[in-house]
A and B are shown apart, each in its own frame.
Chain A
Amino acid sequence: MATAKDFMTSQKSTWCAGCGDFGIWTGLRQALAELNIEPHQASLVFDIGCCGNGANWHNAYSFHGLHGRPIPVAFAIKLANHDLKVIVITGDGGGYGEGTNHFVHSCRANVDITCIVYNNHGYSLTTGQASPTTQQGKETKSTPDGLLETPLNGLQLAITCGATFVSQAYADEVKHLKDVLKSAISHQGFSLVDVLQPCVIYNDKDIREQYKKKIYKLEDTSYKPNDKNKAYLKAGEQTKLPVGILFQEKRLSYEKQLPQISKLPLVKQKIKKVNINNLLNNFK
């Protein structure tokens, strides 16, 4: 049985000391180990950015792709081998900016992958520009006079686009985050875990205090994640920030609807020459 440590490579992390990414990394490794998944049974598909650099120190079948494009890569990996647990690691820039189209359509498709958005509300690796989730009015390197747009709410977007598991977590609450990740990874269908992630360089200096004051766990309330309309409203809360599962429903996932792989994963079907005589009859 794999331990959380088995999901680490020989490489040292290059994240800043105190980065919220460490908590997500720990939570993910623990979740995978507790779910009895071995490193070779997991495929982690990384975006570009601080979270994407993690490809080097996560031990699994890791694919460090292009900015905004991990979702289609992950989608296809799942179709090619549905025995794998496939997890996308992206940020608020890649997931909700560069790759929004893929995000939207994968929610619709309900393909069984887990999308973890490392949401620090800004671009950090590129030294502090505004992202799609940055607060309106914020002065950043790319918006020195203040950001004009209102922030995109990824949770509400996912709910309206048909995602069947939508959750929010906080990077510093590692145990709670781990439990949310376990539920997301176990969920059959598209699952979103949007993680509020403190950035020690580009967020407000007191970001951790702000989060501590605002965050509350949905499990401590009477909230039930089975009503889409209530989930939409809950996902929009800003003065207080709910963490936990906001919405979950059962809907047949994309790959479960493909008769081609109902018996055997695609990759396990031997590649050999295929007789085309029958198809040729269409052209006579």
Chain B
Amino acid sequence: MVNDSSQVFTWKIGGTAGGGQQVAGLIFTKACIRGGLYTFDSSEYPSLIRGGIVTYRVSIGEQPIFSIYKKNQLLVALTKEAFDYCLPDMTDDGVILYDSDKFKILPKDAKNRKIYPLPLKELVAQAKILPIASNIITIGTCTALLDYDLNTLNQVITDVFSKKGKKVVAMNIEAAKFGYQYAMDNLQPDEFPYSLKAKPANKVKQDTVLVTANDTISLGAVAAGCKFSVAYPMTPSSSILHNLANWAEETGMIVKHPEDEIAGINMAIGAAYAGVRSMTSTSGGGFALMNEGLSLAGITETPLVIIESQRPGPATGVPTWTEQGDLAYVAHAGHGEFIRVVLAPGDATEAFYLTTLAFNLAEKWQIPVFIMVDKYISEGRQTTEALDITKFEIERGEMVTEQELAKISQYKRYKATKSGVSPRSIPGQKGGTHVANSDDHDEFGFSIEGFTPEIRNLMVEKRAAKLDGILKELPQPQLFGPKVAKLTLIGWGSVKSPVLEALKNLKDVNYIHISAPWPLSETKIRNQLKNVKKLICIENNQTGQFANILRETTGITVDGKLNKYDGAQFFPEEVIENINKLK
């Protein structure tokens, strides 16, 4: 770790799809975590099963790190194509380990960086293992070069492959051993410029986990008592479906993969109407199909949680890359006027707690609530401290009991109240029958026929009345860095990650994180912006969608915008470079 505990070391492995980079990377990263190190990882992959370039990258630090770095110090190149692709992202003093049985390079090809040959085919033959395990050879070699602990690596290998049987575990341990020994015998690890230092065992936190925001959203849904989840697969949201389906036997949740997203949202609404906590997850394209259903949840006042993990659009867009391009769309989606809340976590921890909040808000206010994430944090894993279920309570909002229903002659499902919330009955409750109606309706739920302005106004205003109460319950803007600074960044969702990492190296700069970008409370925002000297909005999109929403709903105009829309998230290096230009 280059003798300085504040330093971050970034390791990257690149090859073709199907080469096992992601499995090798995950094992390597987990071994780092078990040694008490902090990590943030990221995968690049094309939308196909075999071929193309697939990389796995992880930034590692002795202190908590919030983001993946662009520049890497150690590259493991399994193909010439991956080498060419990854080389520009290397630090000048970076070093390269390459599969010398597949391709040859000279130091000048690596711009005079140090290169280490790794004859994978030969090592596979020597170790008498299957070629599929050559990815594990590479991390064995890296473990030796970085002076890290082979036993820790072996423990992770054992855990990861244990479901596949003893033979597979043994083969992969053999692979790691051969890779390790090859480095010890041939690559002079003593002279290697980088090392990873594990913390003493008693200083390693046992409850640390390596999770993506999709993982913590899944965990949050389980913890919050969500009983029904329905999702049609779509990158980068799919791992939520996979997690929940995989855990269903243990959690008792019903997880349904429906025929399409239209069925998805209508099923989520049906289950919520029937009284269970319910959600659906998708990406922008799938959500586009759900729009009419969103509007249905709006008028029937059905509690609903929707996870929208963004990727660059329009249409199929750039399916396996990242963007924050759907905020304005989600905030305004669905025909007609109705309230929805958008929560936008900036990291895996926030994703967990905001998911638990989403279920409360949905049920208390009988509205649709979104969690918006994006490929970067949906699929990037980060070391995360223990997630604590004592930090939230379940609030289901106003529901009528059969005893209460017995006392009234005809139940009004859409009773006009000051808060806008009408206590709801659940199918099966005696005395609570009503029409949950997509036609606008009177307080009982019966359709409005003809021109009945007093009833239409009553219902429109009743639904709109919820806004004041909702705004009070939304998370406050959060300030990171000094209270007063020469320059203030404002952002929402995943930009929090590179910005917080960049703040470590920026003086006189702070950051305001908005984790509830819709609807905005003008009072809260103005209060937070009181001392701001220069306000720059940073977003992973081209048009500055949050900056526009800020102006639309509060009248505040930012002093400048930092936008990125090439398919990758901001890297901390880029944030630093851009801010220094602006200051």
Instruction: Return the contact of A63 from the options B273, B292, B386 (Cβ within 8 A).
Output: B273
B33, B269, B430 interface centre (most CB from chain A within 10 Å): B269
Q: How many residues of A contact B (CB 8 A)?
A: 57
- Interface status of A192 (Cβ within 8 A of chain B): no
Q: Which residue of B lies closest to A53 (CB)?
A: B447
- CB-CB < 8 A to B426: which residues of A? 267
Asked if A29 is an interface residue, CB under 8 A from chain B, the answer is no
Given contacts A56-B447, A276-B223, contact A260 B438 (CB under 8 A): no
B317 close to chain A: CB less than 8 A? no
| B431 engages A266 (CB within 8 Å) | no
**A272-B225, A280-B387 known; A81 vs B435 contact (CB < 8 Å):** no
- Within 8 Å by CB of A61, from B34, B250, B278, B434, lies B434
Please state if B263 and A83 are interface contacts (CB–CB under 8 Å).
no
**A64 near B271 (CB under 8 angstroms)?**
no
Residue contact A76 to B269, C-beta cutoff 8 Å: yes
CA distance A66 to B270 in the complex (A): 12
Evaluate contact between B253 and A260: CB separation under 8 angstroms.
yes
A9 to B437: give the CA distance in the assembly, Å.
15
Cβ of B433 < 8 Å from any Cβ of A?
A: yes
Q: Considering residues A63, A260, A261, A272, which has the most beta carbons from chain B within 10 angstroms of its beta carbon?
A: A63
Residue pair A66, B225 in contact (C-beta under 8 Å): no
Chain A residues 1 to 40 lying within 8 A of chain B, measured CB to CB, are: 9-11, 14, 38-40
Contact A59 B433 (CB under 8 A): yes
Stretch from A67-75, A145-153, A200-208, A239-247 forming part of the interface with B: A67-75
Query: Closest chain B residue to A11 by CB distance?
Result: B446
Query: For the complex, is A236 an interface residue (Cβ under 8 Å from B)?
Result: no
The one of A55, A76, A280, A284 that contacts B274, using a Cβ cutoff of 8 Å: A76
Q: Is the CB of B276 within 8 A of A267?
A: yes
Q: Which of A72, A267, A273, A283 meets B258, CB within 8 Å?
A: A72
The residue of chain A having its C-beta at the shortest distance from the C-beta of B352 within the complex is A276
Whether B394 and A273, one on each chain, are in contact in the complex, defined by CB atoms closer than 8 angstroms, is: yes
A residues within 8 A CB of B34? 284
Chain A hits for B293, CB < 8 A? 66, 69
The CB with the most chain A CB atoms within 10 A, among B208, B266, B394, B410, is that of: B266
Chain A CB within 8 A of B580 CB: no
For B428, give its contact among A41, A76, A258 (CB under 8 Å).
Answer: A41
Query: Which residues of B in the span 393-434 have a Cβ within 8 Å of any Cβ on A?
Result: 393-394, 396, 410, 426-434
Chain A: CB-nearest residue to B267: A76
Complex Cα gap A80–B278 (Å): 10
Q: Which residues of B contact A62 (CB under 8 A)?
A: 433-436, 445
Task: Note all chain A residues with C-beta closer than 8 A to B193.
Answer: none
Given A40-B427, A278-B250, A279-B250, verify A56-B270 contact (CB < 8 Å).
no
Q: Which of B86-94, B209-217, B481-489 contacts A (4 or more CB under 8 A)?
A: B209-217
Beta-carbon contact of A79 and B228 below 8 Å: yes
Q: Is B296 touching A66 in the complex (CB atoms < 8 A)?
A: yes
The answer, yes or no, to whether B471 is at the interface (CB within 8 Å) is no
A65 at the interface (CB under 8 A from B): yes
Q: Does B394 lie within 8 Å of A258, measured CB to CB?
A: no
Distance, CA A177 to CA B437, complexed state (A): 27
Which residues on A sit within 8 Å (CB–CB) of B387? Answer: 276, 280
Find residues 20-57 in chain B having any chain A CB closer than 8 Å to their own CB.
30, 33-34
Main secondary structure of the interface of B (DSSP, over half): mixed
Contact A63 B275 (CB under 8 A): no
Cβ-defined contact, A267 with B428, below 8 A: yes
- Partner among B222, B263, B393 whose Cβ is within 8 Å of the Cβ of A72: B263
CA A43 – CA B253 in complex, angstroms?
A: 22
B522 contact set on A, CB distance < 8 A: none
A11 to B448, CA, bound (A): 11
Q: Which of B215, B276, B393 has the most CB of A within 10 A?
A: B276
B282 to chain A, nearest CB (A): 15
Given A56-B447, A69-B262, A279-B428 contact (CB < 8 Å): no
Q: Is the CB of B267 within 8 A of A283?
A: no
Interface string of A37-61 (1 = CB under 8 A from B): 0111101010010000101100111
Residues of A within 8 Å of B410, CB to CB, are 10
Task: Decide: B428 and A40 in contact? CB cutoff 8 A.
Answer: yes
Taking a contact as CB atoms under 8 Å apart, the answer to whether B292 and A274 are in contact is no
**Interface assignment of B248: CB less than 8 Å from any CB of chain A:** yes
**Neighbouring A residues of B258 by C-beta, 8 Å:** 72, 105
Asked if residues A72 and B227 are in contact (CB atoms below 8 Å), the reply is no
Question: Does A233 belong to the interface (CB within 8 Å)?
Answer: no
Closest to A284 in B: B209
A63 to B293, alpha carbons, bound, how many Å? 13
**A70-121 contacts to B (CB < 8 Å):** 71-77, 79-81, 83-84, 101-102, 104-105
A105 touches B259 (CB 8 A): yes
Q: Given contacts A43-B427, A271-B227, A273-B389, is CB(A283)–CB(B433) below 8 Å?
A: no
Whether the pair A76, B227 counts as a contact (CB closer than 8 A) is no
Contacts of B431 in A (CB 8 A): 40
Cβ A69 vs Cβ B266 within 8 A: yes
Given contacts A266-B227, A271-B276, A279-B247, contact A76 B268 (CB under 8 A): yes
Whether A77 contacts B273 by the Cβ 8 Å rule is yes
Given contacts A40-B432, A53-B447, contact A274 B225 (CB under 8 A): yes
> Distance (Å) between the CB of B449 and the closest chain A CB?
7
Is B97 an interface residue when CB atoms closer than 8 A count as contact?
no
Q: CA–CA, A53 to B430, complex, Å?
A: 24
| Chain A residue nearest in CB terms to B248 | A260
Q: Which of A232-284 touch B at CB < 8 Å? A: 258-261, 266-267, 269, 271-276, 278-280, 283-284
B224 to chain A, nearest CB (A): 7
- The reply to whether A38 and B430 contact each other, CB–CB distance below 8 Å, is yes
Cβ contacts A to B, 5 pairs, < 8 Å: A101-B262, A102-B262, A271-B227, A272-B225, A273-B224
A→B interface (CB under 8 Å): 9-11, 14, 38-41, 43, 45, 48, 53, 55-56, 59-66, 69, 71-77, 79-81, 83-84, 101-102, 104-105, 258-261, 266-267, 269, 271-276, 278-280, 283-284
Given A61-B434, A280-B219, 7 additional A-B pairs, CB 8 A: A56-B435, A56-B446, A59-B433, A62-B434, A79-B228, A80-B227, A84-B427
Question: Which 8 residue pairs are nearest across A and B when measured between Cβ atoms?
Answer: A76-B270, A80-B274, A73-B270, A61-B427, A72-B266, A283-B209, A76-B267, A271-B225
